[in-house]
Amino acid sequence: MNRARLFVACLVVALLSGPAFAQRGNDFDSLVVQMNAATQAGRWAEGLAAAQKLEILVRRRQGADNMNYAGVLHNEGMYLHNLGRFPEAIEKLNAALGIKLRNNDVVSTLRTSNILVGSLGMLERRTEATTVAERALALGTSAFGANDGRLAGTLSALGGLARDKENLAEATGYFERALIALQAANAPPVDVASALDDLGDAYGLLGRFDDGERMLKQGLDLLDLSFGRDAETTMNYDKILNDLGNLYLDAGRLAEAEASMRRSLAITRARRGETHPNVAASTGNLATVLKHEARYAEAEKLYQQTLQAYERIYGPNHPTTAIGLNNLANAFSAQGKHEAAAGLQERVLAIYEKSFGADSPDVGRALNNLANSYSDLGRKEQALGLYRRSLAVIERKFGEGSGPTALAAGSLGQALMDAGQVDEARRLLLRCLEIDERVLGATHPQLVKDLRAVALLDLRTGNMTEARGRLDRALAIAQARLGPRHRDSIATMINLADADRREGKWPDALARLRLAAAALNAEKNTQFVRFPELDPWLIDAIWRVSDGKPDNAAKDEAFGAAQRAHETSAGAALSQMAARFGAGNDAIAGLVRRQQDLKASLETLEKRVTSELGQADGKRNDALIANLRAQTAQTRKSLEDVSAQLDRSFPAYAELSNPQPLSIAQTQGLLKPDEALVVFIVRGDKTYALAVTREASALRQIALGSREIGDRVAHLRLGLANPEAAQSSFDLDASFELYNALFNPISADVTGKPKLLLVPAGALTSLPLHVLVTKKPDTASADRYRQAAWLLNERAITVLPSVPSLRGLRSFARDSRAQKPFIGFGDPVLRRSSDKRAGRNVQPYQSYYDGTSVDLDRLRTGLPSLPETAGELQAVARALGASPQDDVKLGSAATVTSVSTLPLDQYRVVDFATHGLVAGEVSGLSEPALVLTLPDKPTSDDDGLLTASRIAKLKLDADWAVLSACNTAAGDKPGAEGLSGLARAFFYAGARALLVSHWPVDSDAAVRLTTGAFSELAAHPGIGRAEALRRSMKALIADRSSSRNADPAVWAPFVLVGEGG
């Protein structure tokens, strides 16, 4: 449980009496007033200072072995506890307790014991804490009887210990006894409300949500009835609201959880002040609700605030600060920011190990969380080792049959299942289920996850009967306890649909998938991101139930599912560009751009803060963190101001920049008469294609799965990657076979449409589809490549990153207003050690990375220079009427600084001819980059790498951005996202169409292909960019001056992405 609990601080000041104070009452009274004021404001350090002065005063006047002295020691211990200085608190409280026991003051002994129990528990000294609490209970029972109200605090302390051990049934028993005792004693309403809070919270953790809600609301009602308008000022009103919010969160009632958390936070802030620890804890709990609603940006902001508050109150290395780090890491993981999450989790582990030792329960939990992050990063072996360590630690501390042990066993079981170690996985997952069922009860919501885990293993091993039984039970629990729209209900429904699929029960599978999709879509922008398998499976089921003949409604349903499955960062960037230029006037467009730039800056700053927070003690730079946080706060404030202004000036922007899936009818309205849109869905053992023209639409099945397509694409790329090879090895037969598989099913649907708009998926993003051959090739012919029936001969091809991006391009984006024709950058100074001329084929780019950062020294010595790009760019400049001298930046002029400072929005064509370090080639790479001149002394502003984030900050107004670098389209890793981060960044910056290369481009061919396309479009403006590129490629193939011109390695590297019409 990573939620922070709110303090309910109770300062018990012993009455000091006796002749020694007759003349010094004013000093004493003043210190007592200071302590009380500090307590109410949560200023623990100030209270401690007053208590320490009071200790000196009492010791001087009365000595150190009396109840007055015990009282001030008690007060000091409480302040030290609230400051998180637990060892010092324990020392003071033990000293106070010794005096009180000698004086046989049972009531005072109980009060001090309860605080001591809390301090010992925070240091994981739970055995000692239990001993103290049980001794106090025995003393109190002997003095007052078993049901006396004065025992309630001790009973609550014992309940808290049991709750922390996740012995929830035992905890509930103690809390019930405490409540009964207080009610029988007619205790003050505040005390009774606190007991109702403890019991309601425990019921919620047990999954008894109705009972828990009833207890918590009784507590609030009691305070309202007793105090009227002043109820919210009582010490635990805000805490009860906070715990009620946690219960609603666990029950999946997110809107109610958020409302309760916000009210709790507002009351805490108003009553205690912004700097009180409870404000930080309540803020973090609200962030957790927002995270579950998938409102990640808002959640991150609040988690960062919480973390800063914890660091201010407790210091950077305190266990409470580790809670803030852990929660922020979980928010990063939910968004796929796994590197950042792992760095923070490593820091959490270091804090707990230093605070509690390597064998503490908190270390066990931290090991589990770090293992999750490593697993997300693909570091499976390391993760398995950490999961095993976690289970060993937790099992030793909590016992083999405890709730924490169940969680650790389940995590290890899941990891082993993923690793294919089925037998051990099953043993651990069943053990997890058995423990949770015994500890939590047969209908607790936790059992939904446990049952699903075992059922998924059953599905993998073909135990269908057992799988269905467990999934049916899980669904019943989830829907009854959490509701049909909760994530666990939807996930279980999808699992049952999977069982239907495996057994060929397609109508049942379709019905379940539709229910899951409806529940998911109903929770607009809440709970979580989509389940990746849902939409492809839905399309598959639609096809099979209709026997391959879906009606119009079913096709529309499949079309929407395909678009959700195709959501990509490049598509989002293109939509943002279109919305910016569709804003209606330059002032609003500038405002939109300002908002987008601030968002990018905020993301960069937050990444830097996160990186610094993950540093070990000796490397942590607190001054830098403070500076970065100040910049972050100012940037966030500017963003909020600009966003508010934008909402007033351009209310349609939000819809334009984050478009929803289009219907088939809407898409048909955007298409031209000679165009066909084809969307590929590649997942599992089947691929589907959706073809849409102005007149008709069709859903077709392709008899290849994702693995087969990946293998075929990889095979074809082997014959394309080296345009300088003496003889090509491109496999024409394999190309023809892939064409038949992909396009034969839709051939009738796209007949008469010479322009194809393709939305590829999976490995298809790594291959320019114009290299497919439409007729059986004559592979024995010496002129086989020139004679081949390339798809290019029949169709002009445009690649779209998503279907909704078509609306952005067609409805909102305007033509370039730039006045200058061309600017190019190339032949950077790389300081290659060898003078030997090298081509563009070099060792794999991942070799230039040290982890996820570029090693500039390796770049200097490893990358070949590119002198041929100088002539390439100058030739293009001349062809477009630009100056080869002024408009081509070569060598020392081709720098990040020059790119960043030149007015690039004045140029219609922007061309980069250099090396590209591309996303997908380096696991965990934070962002791709183009390599420009590497400076002798790199700076934070110019290290020679034009990264995606730097590109995104450029201001372009370009009809074309040309990236004739290596592998800029999708990398050479089949299955990479369809457009690299470079392409995404150029869209965002303002390019309408990208001409990007899939492999190193021959320089002569690059000149001819680009200038040919530009010339064709200038001579025939109505043909569109895609047709212009097609004609340029055909002209190169037809040129017999070199036999290499017809080789697809030479003429085929470029694809057009964006607006090709």
Rg, the chain, Cα only: 34
Average pLDDT estimate for 687-693: 97
Instruction: Reply yes or no on whether the pLDDT at 1056 is more than 60.
Output: yes
Beta bridge partners of 863: none
Instruction: Reply yes or no on whether the pLDDT at 973 is more than 70.
Output: no
What integer pLDDT is reported at residue 896 of this predicted model? 95
What integer pLDDT is reported at residue 444 of this predicted model? 87
**In this prediction, what percent of the chain has a pLDDT beyond 90?**
52
756 — pLDDT class (breaks 50, 70, 90) = very high
What integer pLDDT is reported at residue 663 of this predicted model? 95
795 — pLDDT class (breaks 50, 70, 90) = very high
What integer pLDDT is reported at residue 645 of this predicted model? 78
Q: Given the DSSP bridges, would you call strands 993-997 and 907-913 parallel, antiparallel or unpaired? A: unpaired
What integer pLDDT is reported at residue 883 of this predicted model? 96
654 — pLDDT class (breaks 50, 70, 90) = low
Instruction: Reply yes or no on whether the pLDDT at 770 is more than 60.
Output: yes
What single-letter amino acid sits at 386?
A: L
- Options 3.30.9.10, 1.25.40.10, 3.40.190.290, 3.10.20.30; CATH for 329-544 is 1.25.40.10
* Mean of all residue pLDDT scores within the chain: 85
Q: Which of 213-217, 308-312, 600-604, 692-696 has the lowest mean pLDDT?
A: 600-604
Q: How many CB atoms lie within 10 A of CB 917?
A: 28
Instruction: Reply yes or no on whether the pLDDT at 24 is more than 50.
Output: no
Alpha-helix residue ranges (DSSP H) falling in 583-705: 586-613, 622-649, 653-657, 664-670
Instruction: Reply yes or no on whether the pLDDT at 22 is more than 50.
Output: no
**In this prediction, what percent of the chain has a pLDDT beyond 70?**
85
Greater confidence (125 vs 496) lies with 496
What integer pLDDT is reported at residue 998 of this predicted model? 84
Q: Cα(657)–Cα(277) distance, rounded to whole angstroms?
A: 39
441-445, 568-572, 900-904: range with highest mean pLDDT: 900-904
Paired tokens of 778 = 């004559």
What integer pLDDT is reported at residue 659 of this predicted model? 63
Helix (H, G, I), strand (E, B) or coil at 864: coil
Beta bridge partners of 679: 690, 759
Greater confidence (732 vs 924) lies with 732
What are the percentages of helix, strand and coil residues in the chain, rounded to 5? 65, 10, 30
572 — pLDDT class (breaks 50, 70, 90) = low
Q: Which of 121-130, 313-322, 666-675 has the lowest mean pLDDT?
A: 121-130
Instruction: Reply yes or no on whether the pLDDT at 977 is more than 50.
Output: no
Sort residue 1058 into left (φ over 0), alpha (ψ -120 to 50) or beta: left
What integer pLDDT is reported at residue 811 of this predicted model? 67
What integer pLDDT is reported at residue 725 of this predicted model? 58
166 — pLDDT class (breaks 50, 70, 90) = confident
Q: Cα(742)–Cα(738) distance, rounded to whole angstroms?
A: 6
DSSP 813: P
Instruction: Reply yes or no on whether the pLDDT at 15 is more than 60.
Output: no
| CATH code reported for the domain at 12-103 | 1.25.40
What integer pLDDT is reported at residue 265 of this predicted model? 94
Paired tokens of 240 = 């009860």
Residues 628 and 602 sit within 8 Å (Cβ to Cβ): no
636 — pLDDT class (breaks 50, 70, 90) = confident
Instruction: Reply yes or no on whether the pLDDT at 346 is more than 90.
Output: yes
pLDDT in tens, 212-257: 999 999 999 999 999 999 999 888 899 999 999 999 988 878 889 9
For residue 179, the surrounding DSSP H or E stretch is: helix 168-184
Average pLDDT estimate for 802-817: 75
Residues 971 and 980 sit within 8 Å (Cβ to Cβ): yes
Q: Which of 81-85, 239-243, 975-979 has the lowest mean pLDDT?
A: 975-979
Instruction: Reply yes or no on whether the pLDDT at 116 is more than 50.
Output: yes
Instruction: Reply yes or no on whether the pLDDT at 561 is more than 80.
Output: yes
12 — pLDDT class (breaks 50, 70, 90) = very low
Q: How many CB atoms lie within 10 A of CB 869?
A: 28
pLDDT in tens, 600-616: 677 777 667 766 766 66
pLDDT in tens, 465-521: 999 999 999 999 999 888 888 888 999 999 999 999 999 999 999 999 999 999 887
Q: Cα(498)–Cα(478) distance, rounded to whole angstroms?
A: 18
Instruction: Reply yes or no on whether the pLDDT at 930 is more than 80.
Output: yes
> CA torsion, points 215, 219, 221, 225, in degrees to nearest 10?
150
925 — pLDDT class (breaks 50, 70, 90) = very low
Q: Which of 27-36, 209-218, 379-388, 492-501 has the lowest mean pLDDT?
A: 27-36
Beta bridge partners of 994: 961, 1057
Burial of residue 647, with CB atoms counted within 10 A of its CB: 0-12 exposed, 13-18 middle, 19 or more buried: exposed
Helix (H, G, I), strand (E, B) or coil at 341: helix
Angle between helices 106-122 and 152-164 (to 10 degrees): 10
pLDDT in tens, 834-893: 434 444 444 444 444 444 455 677 777 777 888 888 998 999 999 999 999 999 999 999
919 — pLDDT class (breaks 50, 70, 90) = very low
Average pLDDT estimate for 974-989: 61
Residues 852 and 921 sit within 8 Å (Cβ to Cβ): no
Greater confidence (3 vs 550) lies with 550
pLDDT in tens, 430-461: 999 999 998 888 988 889 999 999 999 999 99
Q: Cα(856)–Cα(943) distance, rounded to whole angstroms?
A: 8
Residues 143 and 106 sit within 8 Å (Cβ to Cβ): yes
Q: Cα(535)–Cα(544) distance, rounded to whole angstroms?
A: 14
Greater confidence (147 vs 391) lies with 391
